[in-house]
Structure 1
Amino acid sequence: MTTTSTVQNGILLIRLSGDLIGSPDTDQLLQTVNSHLGEDLTHCAIDLSEIRYINSTGIGVLVSLLTKFRSRGGELVLINPADHPKKMLAITKLNNIFTVSPDEATARQQLTPAAI
């Protein structure tokens, strides 16, 4: 899995591609987020459009990150999950817990009022 991250207007944007199935992939994602939490960021958008496969470990990390941001008074938004991640979110009923946006612009709009 590859991970890229940027911070713009107080929102951490993470783009993932490949498979989110456990170490070292999940460790890399957690490390990326933790490195930015020192910057007092409370809002995050994770682009899942290029994730081919996600398992329970990957889902668990997303839930952990959601909890981390919400406990700081922030929010985490998932951007355009590909077919398999979308199915996994539906099967686990986590699509009712996560905010899912169709694209980055919508995710930023959803997070910006809270970030200001």
Structure 2
Amino acid sequence: MKTDSAVQNGILFVRLSGDLIGSPDTQQLLQSVDQHLGEELLHCAVDLSGIRYINSTGIGVLVSLLTKFRSRGGELVLINPADHPRKMLALTKLNAIFSVADDEAAAAQLLKTA
């Protein structure tokens, strides 16, 4: 899995590609987000359009990220999940928990109103 992150207008944008299935990649993602949390960020948008496959560990990572931001009074939005992640979110009924946006601009708008 490849991870790219940037802060824009007080929002942490994380772009993921490949397979979100655990092991060192997910630990690196969590550590990267933790470093940004030290910057007092409250909002995060995770772009899942490049994720081909996600398993239960990957779902757990997304829930962990959501919990990190919500426990600080913030919010996390998923951007344009690809087909398999979208199906997994529906299967686990987490599509009712996560906010989903079509693109970065829509995610930023959702986070501004959160």
Runs of 4+ in 1 over 6 A off after TM superposition: none
SS in 2 for 1:22: coil
Q: Percent identity?
A: 79
Residue equivalent to 1:44: 44
The gaps in structure 1 that reach 5 residues or longer are none
**1:23-102 correspondence runs (5 A):** 23-102=23-102
Aligned length: 114
Contiguous gaps of at least 5 residues in structure 2:
none
Q: Secondary structure at the match of 2:36?
A: helix
Structure 1 Cα separation of the partners of residues 43 and 33 of structure 2: 11
What's the CA shift for 1:50? 0.3
Quote how far apart the aligned CAs of 1:24 are.
Answer: 1.2
Distance 2:113 2:54 in 1: 30
Distance 1:8 1:102 in 2: 18
Q: Give the TM-score taking structure 1 as reference length.
A: 0.96
1:69, 1:54 → 2: CA distance? 21
Q: Please give the TM-score of this superposition, normalised by the length of structure 2.
A: 0.97
Amino acid at match of 2:83: D
